[in-house]
Structure 1
Amino acid sequence: MIAKTVFAFALLYLSCFQIVTGVSEREVASMLLADYQKEGRPVRDPTQVVLTSLDVYVIQIVKLIPRRQVLVINFWLVQRWRDDFLTWDPAEYGNISTIRLGSENIWRPRLVNYNRQHEEGWSELPDTNAIVRSDGEVLWTYPITLRSTCVLDIARFPFDVQKCPLKFGSWTYDSLNLKLVNISTTGNIDYFAANGEWELLSFDLEVNEVEYSCCPGIPWDDMTYTITLQRRPKFFILYLVAPSVTFSLLTVWGFWLPPDSGERLSLCINLLLALIFLQQGVAAYLPDTATNIPLIDVFFVANILLVGASSILTILTLSIHFKCFDLPPVPNWLRCLFCLDQSDSSTYRVNAPQDNNDGAMDAFFATNGSNPAWRLVRRVKKIIRQLKEEQEMMTNCLKTESEWKILLGKIDRCLLIAFFIALVVITASILGPNK
């Protein structure tokens, strides 16, 4: 009899234990979602504000597309809010205090990135599960890849620092219905994977309340995360800055070559082509439109202009060297500007010396022209006179050519000094510390 009584109590105990522990999360979820409506705000009092927090974990900088000025970045987004219709008593449901529900089955704040650039296959919202606690607190986390606009400041490329704002907020709920609160004062960078091109300097947060022209008098909340990136310049120093500085130094030393040398012109043309090629390489890393011009472009343009000036000067020198008969005298203002000897100007007014007996000889030949000997003497005298005139003309031409060459040589040296100063100033501006 006693054994039967103990057995009955054991069956009763086991049945009670089964009733208590037999409740599953599926049953809790079914109970919660039985009459749940996800279209309306999750508050029983319509005047109540839904407090929502957003934490952003930056995981990886995928790329920064300079031509389109778009930042592609991987995030973990963590959203928290309270849902009055997702509550239960854990004591009645097997002490289950936390369950997982599909986020597509419940109300969500649907915070969006205001400056996102949508593209098929990017920035899709994943339907991950949300963690729901018995008091109605909902925690929804998910990874996402965003394409966000970022206006670039490339004035100091490749030593530039970029600041890209990421503005998050509700697209349909104002701050009277949904209030954004921040748990931390900055974005989270604990799980950030280093990028080979960009270094993450900071990830700041600012909570704003803005009124838009569509809805005057109604405030809207947004959270603006500002990610600050600094370009790693080693690659660009090796492949862009170092070759350009080398070509610039070659241009400087090219001014020491004689301008009338053909090698000078060949060197200038080759340097000009090389600088243009490097400038095109820089353009691939810059946006199509920019608010300012990068210093490295100024550097290339200055080099190209000075190499072009050297080429023009070389061509002019070669033209003077091979066509000296049509050269005009050096203008006086150039003489004063480059301190040429003023006494050289008298050489351009030299006339052939006149023989005082030419008149008497001509009268004699007119009366005795029939004598063959005198005719021969007269012809020889005329030839000698022409030779003297040609010799004097050649002498003046050589003097004019010499003066032009001296002038061009001084211009060449002035360009050398100007180019060297410009090269030092621009290089120091580019390689100097950030301001």
Structure 2
Amino acid sequence: MGSSDAETRLFADLLTGYNPLERPVENASDPLIVKMKIFLQQILDVDEKNQLVSVNAWLRFTWGDYKLKWNPKDYNGIRDVRFPGTTDHIWKPDILLYNSASEDFDSTFKSNLLVYSSGEVTWIPPGVLKFVCAIDVTWFPFDEQLCELKFGSWTFHGHAIDLQIDTTDDPENSTNPQMDLSTYVVNGEWSLINSPAHRKVGYFKCCPEPYPVVKYYLHLRRRTLFYGFNLIIPSLLITLMTVLGFSLPPDAGEKINLEMTVLLAIVFFLSMVSEMTPPTSEAVPLIGVFFSCCMLVISASVVFTVVILNLHFRGPDTHVMSPLVRSVLLEWLPWILMMSRPGHTFTKGCSIQDGEAKLREPSLPINRSDLPAHQPVYEAQLLLLHSCYAELKQITAKLEKEANEERVQNDWRFAAMCVDRACLILFSLFIVISTLAIMLSAPHLIA
């Protein structure tokens, strides 16, 4: 007798009187032990907006069927047979992924069921598992996600099917079971830190029976290299250009253009971040806080740039510097910032003006006792000298007025320079401190 005939006879003998609706236990009061394990192949997608995760995995279910035992010697040494998973020839457990988000809910391929002569049944349905996972974007892009795959029987309680974690392949880690990663393909965006498994027995108010479930977890950590080179570093460099704006001379006429260009660039990067993260109000992403801080700095720099330009172009014809403004901007601030000004010395909040040549009004002696009286020549000379004196007095007054106006205008310009220098230092410190505070608050910087 050939092996094919023996196999035909074996199938006929096994299915004779077999009811696929009957739970394969000899005693109806005993639970059927079903063991499962996941072989993770690849993490396909992590959809932050819709809070969905897709993985390619194999599921392995093993259980014992007392009606499917035979002696291989009676069937030409056949030790295993296969039943199609698309038909209901033998009993199969209704283990499903509870948090599935697939359109068909059960997206596994109905592969063949392998039955051994000992009655052990092994079923390995592969599939693309798409499930719901609560994505926490608080630390994006330095975030870690913990997603669970919850498996359990859809209709049987714990007294009928006892679902357990299969640790036969790795008995040493029976106390800490996890997914099988022997064929795992590394994901370019996410690092798989750990994939533990836990068995939990739950009870519900409606039913007194226990309901065991098996939860497999995916501990994922986002790789930050892409976001660092494409978002964080460019935005940080753009923000540092704000500091360069305070070192640009006001007469160049490009300070406002530079600040507005930087502000528009940060707004563009912020719109890119908003597209990457889910529209949630529960948490603000860390990178969103970073860009908001950058936008706040640049917006403030625009305001201070306008103030600096306003101070720089003030003149004596339109503005008068009050004593308080003079004391703060021309004495205390230069002394604190250790600035220097030609012709001035700053000491302990005071400005000491160095000696400078002042225009003196020309004087002309009018009454001289030694001059001859009633001499036409001397009288003509006196009239000529008086005329020259009047002209010189007018020229001296005009020069003194221009010097005063120039001195007042220089005071306004130096005040603008002091505010510019103060903004340069303060904004540089704020950018460095805020960047370090935000980055160091992240759980990790490099994955």
Q: TM-score range by the shorter chain?
A: 0.7 to 0.9
Amino acid at match of 1:428: L
Cα 1:318–1:98 change in 2 (3 A) is same
Amino acid at match of 1:108: K
Amino acid at match of 1:97: R
SS at match of 2:276: coil
Cα 1:99–1:330 change in 2 (3 A) is farther
In 1, are the aligned partners of 2:191 and 2:223 still within 8 Å (CA)?
yes
Amino acid at match of 1:176: H
CA distance in 1, matches of 2:253, 2:276: 37
Give 1:32-431 correspondences, 5 Å limit.
Answer: 32-103=14-85, 104-105=87-88, 106-119=90-103, 124-184=107-167, 185-215=177-207, 217-259=208-250, 261-289=252-280, 291-319=282-310, 332=324, 339=332, 399=408, 409-429=417-437, 431=439
In 1, are the aligned partners of 2:137 and 2:283 still within 8 Å (CA)?
yes
Cα 1:271–1:21 change in 2 (3 A) is closer
Shift of 1:27: 3.0
Cα 1:415–1:180 change in 2 (3 A) is farther
Quick check: 100-109 or 257-266, which moved more? 257-266
CA RMSD, 1 decimal: 3.4
In structure 2, the gaps of 5 or more residues are 168-176, 334-348, 352-396
- Deviation string 1:284-319 (CA, Å, 9 cap, x unpaired) is 322221643222222211111111111122233444
CA distance in 2, matches of 1:37, 1:144: 28
Shift of 1:60: 0.4
Shift of 1:113: 1.5
Identity among equivalent pairs (%): 31
Amino acid at match of 1:168: F
Cα 1:30–1:421 change in 2 (3 A) is farther
Shift of 1:28: 2.0
In 2, are the aligned partners of 1:101 and 1:131 still within 8 Å (CA)?
yes
Question: Which residue does 2:357 correspond to in 1?
Answer: none
SS at match of 1:268: helix
CA distance in 1, matches of 2:327, 2:100: 65
The number of aligned residues is 372
Shift of 1:22: 6.2
In 1, are the aligned partners of 2:115 and 2:121 still within 8 Å (CA)?
yes
Shift of 1:404: 6.2
Amino acid at match of 2:435: T
TM-score (norm 1): 0.75
CA distance in 2, matches of 1:222, 1:258: 70
In 2, are the aligned partners of 1:211 and 1:220 still within 8 Å (CA)?
yes
CA distance in 1, matches of 2:131, 2:326: 59
Amino acid at match of 2:35: S
Shift of 1:339: 3.9
CA distance in 2, matches of 1:404, 1:36: 102
In structure 1, the gaps of 5 or more residues are 1-17, 344-387
* Greater fraction helix: 1
Cα 1:308–1:172 change in 2 (3 A) is same
CA distance in 1, matches of 2:265, 2:64: 64
In 1, are the aligned partners of 2:256 and 2:302 still within 8 Å (CA)?
yes
Cα 1:157–1:259 change in 2 (3 A) is farther
CA distance in 2, matches of 1:422, 1:281: 24
Cα 1:213–1:266 change in 2 (3 A) is farther
CA distance in 2, matches of 1:27, 1:331: 113
Shift of 1:126: 1.4
In 1, are the aligned partners of 2:41 and 2:57 still within 8 Å (CA)?
yes
Quick check: 203-212 or 419-428, which moved more? 419-428
In 2, are the aligned partners of 1:320 and 1:327 still within 8 Å (CA)?
no
Shift of 1:230: 1.9
CA distance in 2, matches of 1:303, 1:240: 12
- Deviation string 1:247-288 (CA, Å, 9 cap, x unpaired) is 122112222223564211111011111111112222232222
Shift of 1:241: 1.6
Question: Which residue does 2:443 correspond to in 1?
Answer: 434
CA distance in 2, matches of 1:290, 1:177: 44
